[in-house]
Structure 1
Amino acid sequence: MPRTPRSSEGAVPKAALGLSGASALVIGTIIGTGVFALPSALAPYGPISLVAFGVVTLGALALAVTFGALSKRVPGSGGPYVYAREAFGEFAGFLNAWSYWITAWAGNAAIVVAWVGYVEVFVNTGHKTAISIGIALIGLWIPAAINLTGVRNMGAFQVFTTVLKFVPLLFMATIGLLFIDPHNFGSFNASGQSAMSAISAAAPIALFSYIGLEAASVVAGRVREPGRNVPRATVYGTLACAVIYILGTLAVFGTVSHGQLGVSSAPFTDAANNILGGTWAGDTVAVAAIVSGIGALNGWTMLCAEMPYAAARDGLFPGAFAKLRGENGVPVFGIVASTVLASLITVFSYTRFDDVFTKIVLLSVLTAVIPYLFSAAAQLYWLLVRGRESITGRRLARDITVSALAMAFSYWAIQGSGYQTVYYGLFVLLLGLPVYVWLKRGQGVYGEEPAPAPVPEGRAPETAAPPARRISRAAATTRTGGLRRNRLRNRD
């Protein structure tokens, strides 16, 4: 395997995030701008969509528990990438890293386009395209600049924005419940479909809300005491978001009439205005949405660099992603490259068709669910194949059930993305094949044998020494990794 460039000649990432910082990262990447439009998106289905939300929440929590268990089994940054690589080999690891990287920077483009809509409540109310593009680029590069200063500053900013975004959402999920009027709910199943069909149709919309729950596992190498803090941050962060989502959506359903909710572009704003009167409350919610969006972009910008960094250190991503700069060990190339790509696709979305934004959202969700599926499969593989001797009884049954639920949830998410999205997602995923071939160029093949050496004159052919079996560096790395994995699987 070719030598992968490391951080500035041997520097390693600093573990600067504690439990609060890691939890804020999870919450901050899950809660972006989408939550502020979620009730309107679910309104056509009526309150039955809250049932779908509950089902999706169970699946998200199953994934959170699975990621927490995997982070103990395979420590270090990389999340879904390292889990797939350790369980199924290098190629599976590469596909997960490639898929998740697309999720990160394409998702940032989707977040910033929605974020601009809230900024334009106060500026560029005429929605001039050139100004909108300028605002979007500012929204992408401010988080990039923060990340370039180091993970400690990034973590502090993440905690700050998480607290600010949580205040109005928490208000709606608590005080807002006191102002619910049952007449606002309308028909329980407003879609006219069967109950199961309505739940299945509403579920994909709710699925969008939980992308990012794996954030702490992706940056585990930068978390202090990762074996303790990563699982807790993942579960705590997901639970906090679930409570806010369900109660907040319930409050909006009960404080805004069903007819008004179906046409609202800012349902939380309308709910706040109905509860407190006037428009100042709605403007406050708009500010919260702006803060929420910039916080989500801050967290996702870090993930844009951390996943390829982990893969590049193993030779499964271009080596430039593995270089760290400065005392804080900043993956400069990963941050800049991903932000440039997000900027390009953002400009494209503003200058092309109106439905480009929706397609970007669906594509980013699909490319995130693929690593989720592999991670759940990796956990099942360790439970049923590698680690079945070390885990028995109720604990084994519990872990298998949770992992199977996480896998079923992932399949459901893929199915709910739609045929066209799956088609484009598969195409984008397979674009990684030439990259993988290029990365593996020049490496020896395990088991390849050189041409037989000529037999010295006067020596019988049958006494000639057999040709030595040449083992590539990749194979040697695999053998070494095998010993390390044997030790890891015996931890549980």
Structure 2
Amino acid sequence: MNPTSVRDATSHAGGERPPSPAGDRRFGLPTASALVVGSVIGTGVFALPSALAGFGPISLVAFVLVTIGAIALAVTFQALNRRIPGSGGPYLYAREAFGDFAGFINAWSYWITAWAGNAAIVVAWVGYVEVFWNTSHTKGWSILIALAGLWLPAAINLAGLRSIAAIQILTTVLKFIPLLFMATVGLLFVKSANFGAFNATGGSALGAISAASAIALFSYIGIETASVAAGRVRDPQRNVGRATVLGTLACAVVYILGTVTVFGTVSHGALLHSTAPFTDSANAIFGGRWAGDTVAVAAIVSGLGALVGWTLIVGEMSQAAARDRLFPARFAVGNRREVPAFGIIVGTVLASVLTVVSYTSFAKVFTTVVLLSVLTAVIPYLFSAAAQMYWLLTEGRRIHAGHLVRDLVVAITALLFGFWALAGSGYQAAYYGLFCLLLGVPVYVWLKVGRREYGETPVGPLSKGTLG
């Protein structure tokens, strides 16, 4: 995740948007595309093959279908940004289309996705740290490593270091190189015997594909980043959408081919229990440990970069909503370095609690946290697709019939994709995700009462005491 600020993500019901930064500070299509790639590719992808191994190679089918859905979402964001080119992304679209409550639900859900996603990233990060230390995977040490991985990025953000952008560029390059290598050269070492049964679940193919898709979707969380930071992009109505689609396609190629390489170079049995699958794959290709250790170092560095960026987003998403009076006012205040310190600290505490609970309560830690993050991420995606459909159906007379049909098909595909991912999350993730989501309702009531947004009690027969 690039730490580009989303503090401009304040939407206004009347259509007024915050001013864009000065022209010399905005970035064009290449940088916007790099923003998407850097946001989407985190440490989670380095652990994804192990999470998908339980389904077998059929999960690659799921990956392809998820990619199609992700591209439909990317095109939907492209169209939405043409309509509303300001910063804010899904939060902005939902509020503009459906009002304050929808905007709050999206901000709340996206906020949960950000800090819960940090818990998933750090769990994957721990797996690669343990290539060098705590190789026996002692649970207590794993938790301590994870907490260090969460609070170090928080400290970097709270310090307001100007070098955060440089850190993001460096870590994005370091994370992309091993994945690109695996997606190209690694394919030459694939052996069909390593793949195992096509559907390792032994159940229905449709059920396996649906469940694997929910996990695979985690690898695409972040495709909306360019739209979230649209106010910083030069010619946003043109470049944001193109960057979103191009960045998504670049990640898709590397993801799918890289996963094929891991599946084909590590035996299915070993992959099921691997905490660092790309390291195991590199060692299988070259023999010895040096190649795997190199991949592990790259994963560790890239994981820290992702955590630094997402930690900032946790704070800034809540700050943006607070400035619109849709989050508690305390979240809107920055520290002396203009960093949303309160939001960063609260988000890191919540991520830490989720990480500890996951390690102590769940057998499959990474998979469980990923599914929770996916469920809360799908909510803003669904609202975005719904907003696009709403505007197409209410203003369709102004659009050429052929374009209207095309855009409706894309929006409906994105909407159905969201529901499909929601269904594939499973009962446990749906329970915890819905619980976290609905916790926001009393918060919204409290905020609304605090703003005194209520009228006088209507005078009618009952209020006049006619029953007495």
Question: Match of 2:88, as an amino acid?
Answer: G
3-state secondary structure, aligned to 1:441: helix
CA drift at 1:376: 0.5
Are 1:178 and 2:188 an aligned pair?
A: yes
Contact 2:8 2:231 in 1 (8 A): no
| Cα displacement string for residues 274-293 of structure 1 (whole angstroms, at most 9, x for unaligned residues) | 22121111111111221232
1:143 to 120, 135, 153: 153
2:245 to 226, 230, 235: 235
Shift in alpha-carbon separation, 1:408–1:326, aligned structure 2, 3 A: same
1:264 to 239, 263, 274: 274
Residue matched to 2:33: 23
Question: Match of 1:368, as an amino acid?
Answer: A
Shift in alpha-carbon separation, 1:156–1:14, aligned structure 2, 3 A: farther
Q: Give the alignment of 1:29-178 within 5 angstroms.
A: 29-129=39-139, 131-148=141-158, 153-178=163-188
CA drift at 1:356: 5.8
CA drift at 1:448: 5.6
CA distance in 2, matches of 1:46, 1:118: 23
Greater Cα shift, 22-31 or 12-21: 12-21
Shift in alpha-carbon separation, 1:159–1:216, aligned structure 2, 3 A: same
Contact 1:21 1:155 in 2 (8 A): no
Contact 1:29 1:297 in 2 (8 A): no
CA drift at 1:191: 3.7
Question: Match of 1:125, as an amino acid?
Answer: T
Question: Match of 1:409, as an amino acid?
Answer: F
Shift in alpha-carbon separation, 1:24–1:150, aligned structure 2, 3 A: farther
Contact 2:362 2:368 in 1 (8 A): no
CA distance in 2, matches of 1:110, 1:287: 18
Residue matched to 1:403: 411
Count of matched residue pairs: 442
CA drift at 1:151: 8.8
CA distance in 2, matches of 1:152, 1:76: 25
Q: Give the alignment of 1:186-265 within 5 angstroms.
A: 186-265=196-275
CA distance in 2, matches of 1:354, 1:46: 19
2:377 to 359, 362, 368: 368
Residue matched to 1:379: 388
Q: Structure 2: where are the runs of 5+ without partners?
A: 1-6, 10-17, 460-468
CA distance in 2, matches of 1:350, 1:447: 48
TM-score normalised by L of structure 1: 0.81
TM-score normalised by L of structure 2: 0.85
Contact 1:6 1:324 in 2 (8 A): no
Residue matched to 1:310: 320
Are 1:421 and 2:429 an aligned pair?
A: yes
Question: Match of 1:98, as an amino acid?
Answer: W
Cα RMSD of the aligned pairs, angstroms, is: 3.0
CA distance in 1, matches of 2:164, 2:236: 18
Shift in alpha-carbon separation, 1:423–1:274, aligned structure 2, 3 A: closer
Q: Give the alignment of 1:303-382 within 5 angstroms.
A: 303-324=313-334, 329-350=338-359, 352=361, 354=363, 358-382=367-391
CA distance in 2, matches of 1:443, 1:180: 61
Question: Match of 1:50, as an amino acid?
Answer: L
1:388 to 396, 403, 415: 396
Residue matched to 1:480: none
Aligned-pair identity in percent equals 69
CA drift at 1:190: 4.0
CA drift at 1:342: 1.9
Contact 2:233 2:240 in 1 (8 A): yes
2:284 to 251, 274, 285: 274
Contact 1:98 1:429 in 2 (8 A): yes
Shift in alpha-carbon separation, 1:227–1:305, aligned structure 2, 3 A: farther
3-state secondary structure, aligned to 2:449: coil
Contact 1:215 1:303 in 2 (8 A): no
Contact 2:51 2:367 in 1 (8 A): no
3-state secondary structure, aligned to 1:188: coil
Q: Structure 1: where are the runs of 5+ without partners?
A: 452-492
| Cα displacement string for residues 424-465 of structure 1 (whole angstroms, at most 9, x for unaligned residues) | 2222211111111111125455776999xxxxxxxxxxxxxx
Shift in alpha-carbon separation, 1:24–1:331, aligned structure 2, 3 A: farther
CA drift at 1:352: 5.0
| Cα displacement string for residues 223-282 of structure 1 (whole angstroms, at most 9, x for unaligned residues) | 444334322332222111101111111122222333443443332222212221211111
CA distance in 1, matches of 2:284, 2:96: 53
Question: Match of 2:319, as an amino acid?
Answer: Y
CA distance in 1, matches of 2:421, 2:54: 20
Residue matched to 2:4: none
CA distance in 2, matches of 1:250, 1:371: 30
Question: Match of 1:107, as an amino acid?
Answer: G
Greater Cα shift, 155-164 or 364-373: 155-164
Shift in alpha-carbon separation, 1:390–1:171, aligned structure 2, 3 A: same
CA distance in 1, matches of 2:254, 2:282: 15
CA drift at 1:358: 4.3
CA drift at 1:12: 8.4
Contact 2:215 2:367 in 1 (8 A): no
| Cα displacement string for residues 95-136 of structure 1 (whole angstroms, at most 9, x for unaligned residues) | 111111111112112211221221122123354555444432
CA distance in 2, matches of 1:120, 1:364: 24
Residue matched to 2:13: none
CA distance in 2, matches of 1:396, 1:179: 47
CA distance in 1, matches of 2:8, 2:173: 35
CA drift at 1:94: 0.6
Residue matched to 1:412: 420
CA distance in 2, matches of 1:402, 1:365: 21
User: Rg larger in 1 or in 2?
Assistant: 1
Contact 1:56 1:203 in 2 (8 A): yes
Shift in alpha-carbon separation, 1:191–1:447, aligned structure 2, 3 A: closer
Shift in alpha-carbon separation, 1:130–1:79, aligned structure 2, 3 A: same
CA distance in 1, matches of 2:164, 2:321: 22
Are 1:438 and 2:446 an aligned pair?
A: yes
3-state secondary structure, aligned to 1:269: helix
